[in-house]
Amino acid sequence: DIQLTQSPSSLSASVGDRVTITCRASQTIDIYLHWYQQRPGKAPKVLIYAASNLQSGVPSRFSGSGSGTDFTLTISSLQPEDFATYYCQQSYSSLWTFGQGTKVDIK
Amino acid sequence: QVHLVESGGGVVQPGRSLRLSCAASGFTFSSHALHWVRQAPGRGLEWVAVIWYDASNKYYTDSVKGRFAISRDNSKNTLYLQMHSLRVEDTAVYYCARGEVVGIIEHWGQGTLVTVSS
Protein backbone atom coordinates (compact mmCIF):
# COMPACT_ATOMS: atom_id res chain seq x y z
CA ASP A 1 0.00 0.00 0.00
CA ILE A 2 1.04 3.59 -0.56
CA GLN A 3 1.82 5.26 2.77
CA LEU A 4 1.04 8.93 3.37
CA THR A 5 2.89 10.76 6.12
CA GLN A 6 1.55 14.10 7.32
CA SER A 7 3.48 16.67 9.29
CA PRO A 8 3.05 17.99 11.79
CA SER A 9 0.69 15.63 13.63
CA SER A 10 -0.70 18.60 15.49
CA LEU A 11 -0.20 22.34 15.67
CA SER A 12 -1.45 25.27 17.68
CA ALA A 13 -2.22 28.49 15.86
CA SER A 14 -4.09 31.75 16.28
CA VAL A 15 -6.87 33.27 14.23
CA GLY A 16 -5.29 35.04 11.27
CA ASP A 17 -2.20 32.83 11.16
CA ARG A 18 -0.95 31.23 7.97
CA VAL A 19 -0.89 27.45 8.41
CA THR A 20 0.91 24.87 6.28
CA ILE A 21 0.46 21.11 6.47
CA THR A 22 2.54 18.71 4.41
CA CYS A 23 1.83 15.22 3.13
CA ARG A 24 4.54 12.93 1.79
CA ALA A 25 3.79 9.79 -0.19
CA SER A 26 5.91 6.63 -0.05
CA GLN A 27 6.00 6.56 -3.86
CA THR A 28 5.06 8.90 -6.64
CA ILE A 29 1.32 9.51 -6.91
CA ASP A 30 1.32 12.18 -9.64
CA ILE A 31 -1.41 14.63 -8.54
CA TYR A 32 -3.81 12.03 -7.15
CA LEU A 33 -3.76 13.65 -3.72
CA HIS A 34 -6.74 15.20 -1.96
CA TRP A 35 -7.32 17.06 1.30
CA TYR A 36 -10.19 16.77 3.80
CA GLN A 37 -11.27 18.63 6.90
CA GLN A 38 -12.99 16.80 9.73
CA ARG A 39 -14.65 18.49 12.68
CA PRO A 40 -15.43 16.45 15.84
CA GLY A 41 -18.40 14.16 15.40
CA LYS A 42 -18.78 15.00 11.73
CA ALA A 43 -17.98 13.28 8.45
CA PRO A 44 -14.93 14.54 6.54
CA LYS A 45 -15.38 17.28 3.96
CA VAL A 46 -13.33 17.63 0.79
CA LEU A 47 -11.31 20.84 0.56
CA ILE A 48 -8.89 20.22 -2.31
CA TYR A 49 -8.88 17.55 -5.01
CA ALA A 50 -6.15 16.54 -7.44
CA ALA A 51 -3.51 18.36 -5.42
CA SER A 52 -4.53 21.93 -6.17
CA ASN A 53 -8.18 22.17 -7.18
CA LEU A 54 -10.49 23.94 -4.74
CA GLN A 55 -13.69 21.98 -4.13
CA SER A 56 -16.87 23.92 -4.88
CA GLY A 57 -18.02 25.95 -1.88
CA VAL A 58 -14.70 25.85 -0.06
CA PRO A 59 -13.29 29.26 0.94
CA SER A 60 -10.39 30.56 -1.13
CA ARG A 61 -8.13 30.81 1.93
CA PHE A 62 -7.54 27.09 1.41
CA SER A 63 -5.04 26.10 -1.26
CA GLY A 64 -3.06 23.03 -2.22
CA SER A 65 0.11 22.38 -4.15
CA GLY A 66 2.54 19.64 -5.05
CA SER A 67 2.97 16.62 -7.27
CA GLY A 68 4.87 13.36 -7.21
CA THR A 69 5.55 12.64 -3.55
CA ASP A 70 5.34 15.98 -1.74
CA PHE A 71 2.19 17.99 -1.19
CA THR A 72 1.10 20.98 0.85
CA LEU A 73 -2.18 22.31 2.20
CA THR A 74 -2.11 26.00 3.12
CA ILE A 75 -4.66 28.04 5.04
CA SER A 76 -3.78 31.65 4.32
CA SER A 77 -5.56 33.21 7.28
CA LEU A 78 -6.91 30.82 9.89
CA GLN A 79 -10.52 31.38 10.90
CA PRO A 80 -12.31 30.10 14.04
CA GLU A 81 -14.19 27.47 12.04
CA ASP A 82 -10.91 26.05 10.69
CA PHE A 83 -9.91 24.47 13.98
CA ALA A 84 -10.29 20.83 13.01
CA THR A 85 -8.33 17.79 11.86
CA TYR A 86 -7.01 17.64 8.30
CA TYR A 87 -6.29 14.52 6.28
CA CYS A 88 -4.64 13.86 2.95
CA GLN A 89 -5.80 10.91 0.83
CA GLN A 90 -4.39 9.31 -2.32
CA SER A 91 -6.30 7.70 -5.16
CA TYR A 92 -3.31 6.85 -7.37
CA SER A 93 -3.59 3.23 -6.32
CA SER A 94 -6.82 1.23 -6.37
CA LEU A 95 -6.09 0.78 -2.65
CA TRP A 96 -6.73 4.24 -1.30
CA THR A 97 -5.01 5.46 1.82
CA PHE A 98 -5.30 8.41 4.20
CA GLY A 99 -2.59 10.24 6.04
CA GLN A 100 -2.64 9.98 9.83
CA GLY A 101 -4.13 13.45 10.23
CA THR A 102 -3.06 16.88 11.47
CA LYS A 103 -5.02 18.41 14.32
CA VAL A 104 -5.16 22.20 14.29
CA ASP A 105 -6.14 23.71 17.60
CA ILE A 106 -6.30 27.12 19.20
CA LYS A 107 -3.11 28.62 20.58
CA GLN B 1 -30.05 14.54 -2.29
CA VAL B 2 -27.56 11.75 -1.67
CA HIS B 3 -28.39 9.71 1.41
CA LEU B 4 -26.34 6.85 2.84
CA VAL B 5 -27.54 5.05 5.95
CA GLU B 6 -25.44 2.37 7.61
CA SER B 7 -26.78 -0.31 9.92
CA GLY B 8 -25.65 -3.54 11.53
CA GLY B 9 -23.07 -2.28 14.00
CA GLY B 10 -22.92 -3.47 17.58
CA VAL B 11 -20.84 -5.27 20.15
CA VAL B 12 -19.30 -8.56 19.09
CA GLN B 13 -16.74 -10.91 20.61
CA PRO B 14 -13.31 -11.41 19.04
CA GLY B 15 -13.36 -14.07 16.35
CA ARG B 16 -17.03 -13.61 15.55
CA SER B 17 -18.69 -12.21 12.43
CA LEU B 18 -20.84 -9.22 11.64
CA ARG B 19 -22.46 -7.83 8.50
CA LEU B 20 -22.88 -4.13 7.89
CA SER B 21 -25.37 -2.72 5.42
CA CYS B 22 -25.64 0.67 3.76
CA ALA B 23 -28.92 1.77 2.21
CA ALA B 24 -28.48 4.40 -0.49
CA SER B 25 -30.89 6.86 -2.07
CA GLY B 26 -30.91 10.09 -4.03
CA PHE B 27 -28.60 9.01 -6.84
CA THR B 28 -28.11 6.31 -9.48
CA PHE B 29 -26.65 3.65 -7.21
CA SER B 30 -25.43 1.38 -10.02
CA SER B 31 -23.26 4.16 -11.50
CA HIS B 32 -20.91 4.72 -8.57
CA ALA B 33 -18.07 2.95 -6.84
CA LEU B 34 -18.69 2.60 -3.11
CA HIS B 35 -16.26 2.49 -0.24
CA TRP B 36 -16.08 1.55 3.41
CA VAL B 37 -13.92 3.80 5.57
CA ARG B 38 -13.46 3.33 9.29
CA GLN B 39 -12.32 5.45 12.20
CA ALA B 40 -11.27 3.95 15.52
CA PRO B 41 -12.24 5.99 18.60
CA GLY B 42 -10.01 9.06 18.80
CA ARG B 43 -7.99 7.93 15.79
CA GLY B 44 -7.65 8.84 12.13
CA LEU B 45 -9.47 7.73 9.02
CA GLU B 46 -8.64 4.33 7.53
CA TRP B 47 -9.81 3.31 4.08
CA VAL B 48 -11.12 -0.27 4.23
CA ALA B 49 -12.48 -1.41 0.88
CA VAL B 50 -14.01 -0.40 -2.44
CA ILE B 51 -16.35 -2.09 -4.88
CA TRP B 52 -16.74 -0.82 -8.42
CA TYR B 53 -20.12 0.26 -9.76
CA ASP B 54 -20.73 -3.13 -11.40
CA ALA B 55 -18.96 -5.20 -8.71
CA SER B 56 -16.34 -6.22 -11.29
CA ASN B 57 -13.50 -5.18 -9.01
CA LYS B 58 -13.05 -5.15 -5.25
CA TYR B 59 -10.01 -3.99 -3.29
CA TYR B 60 -9.15 -4.17 0.38
CA THR B 61 -6.63 -2.69 2.75
CA ASP B 62 -4.09 -5.28 3.85
CA SER B 63 -5.31 -5.51 7.46
CA VAL B 64 -8.74 -6.83 6.43
CA LYS B 65 -7.84 -8.85 3.34
CA GLY B 66 -9.16 -12.39 3.65
CA ARG B 67 -11.43 -11.48 6.58
CA PHE B 68 -13.78 -8.86 5.14
CA ALA B 69 -15.86 -9.02 1.98
CA ILE B 70 -17.49 -6.06 0.28
CA SER B 71 -20.54 -6.62 -1.91
CA ARG B 72 -23.47 -4.74 -3.34
CA ASP B 73 -27.00 -5.37 -4.57
CA ASN B 74 -27.76 -2.84 -7.27
CA SER B 75 -31.40 -3.96 -7.36
CA LYS B 76 -31.78 -2.99 -3.68
CA ASN B 77 -29.46 0.06 -3.69
CA THR B 78 -27.57 -1.54 -0.83
CA LEU B 79 -23.89 -1.94 0.00
CA TYR B 80 -22.60 -4.59 2.39
CA LEU B 81 -19.51 -5.38 4.40
CA GLN B 82 -19.26 -8.93 5.72
CA MET B 83 -16.69 -9.07 8.50
CA HIS B 84 -15.27 -12.36 9.77
CA SER B 85 -12.64 -13.22 12.41
CA LEU B 86 -13.12 -9.85 14.03
CA ARG B 87 -10.31 -8.47 16.15
CA VAL B 88 -10.24 -5.90 18.93
CA GLU B 89 -8.41 -3.57 16.54
CA ASP B 90 -11.39 -3.63 14.17
CA THR B 91 -13.31 -1.55 16.69
CA ALA B 92 -14.32 1.63 14.88
CA VAL B 93 -17.09 3.68 13.36
CA TYR B 94 -17.62 2.30 9.86
CA TYR B 95 -18.66 4.77 7.19
CA CYS B 96 -20.26 3.94 3.88
CA ALA B 97 -19.10 6.42 1.25
CA ARG B 98 -19.64 7.21 -2.41
CA GLY B 99 -16.57 7.54 -4.57
CA GLU B 100 -16.27 10.15 -7.30
CA VAL B 101 -14.46 9.91 -10.62
CA VAL B 102 -11.74 12.35 -9.52
CA GLY B 103 -10.83 10.01 -6.67
CA ILE B 104 -12.46 11.66 -3.70
CA ILE B 105 -15.30 10.90 -1.34
CA GLU B 106 -17.88 13.62 -1.34
CA HIS B 107 -20.77 11.82 0.33
CA TRP B 108 -20.60 9.89 3.59
CA GLY B 109 -23.08 8.05 5.75
CA GLN B 110 -23.47 8.85 9.42
CA GLY B 111 -21.45 5.79 10.42
CA THR B 112 -22.19 2.68 12.48
CA LEU B 113 -20.11 1.71 15.50
CA VAL B 114 -18.58 -1.76 15.67
CA THR B 115 -17.11 -2.73 19.02
CA VAL B 116 -15.09 -5.92 19.26
CA SER B 117 -14.71 -6.89 22.87
CA SER B 118 -14.88 -9.94 25.07
Q: Is the pLDDT of residue A82 over 90?
A: yes
pLDDT at B22: 98
Q: Which of A53, A95, A102, A103 to mutate to test the interface with B (most CBs of B within 10 A)?
A: A95
Confidence of residue A107 (pLDDT cuts 50, 70, 90): confident
Q: Does A95 touch chain B (CB under 8 A)?
A: yes
Nearest-by-CA chain B residue for A100 = B44
pLDDT tens, B21-41? 999 999 999 999 999 999 999
Nearest-by-CA chain B residue for A88 = B45
Residue B23 phi/psi, 5° resolution? Answer: -90, 130
Q: Does B47 touch chain A (CB under 8 A)?
A: yes
Please give the Cα distance from A63 to A74 (Å, whole number).
5
Return the H-helix or E-strand segment holding A87: strand A85-90
Confidence of residue B66 (pLDDT cuts 50, 70, 90): very high
When computed from its CA atoms, the radius of gyration of chain B, rounded to whole angstroms, is 13
pLDDT at A106: 86
Residues 6 or more apart in contact with residue A102 via CB below 8 angstroms: A6, A7, A8, A9, A10, A11, A21, A85, A86, A87
Confidence of residue B57 (pLDDT cuts 50, 70, 90): very high
pLDDT at A8: 98
DSSP for residue B29: G
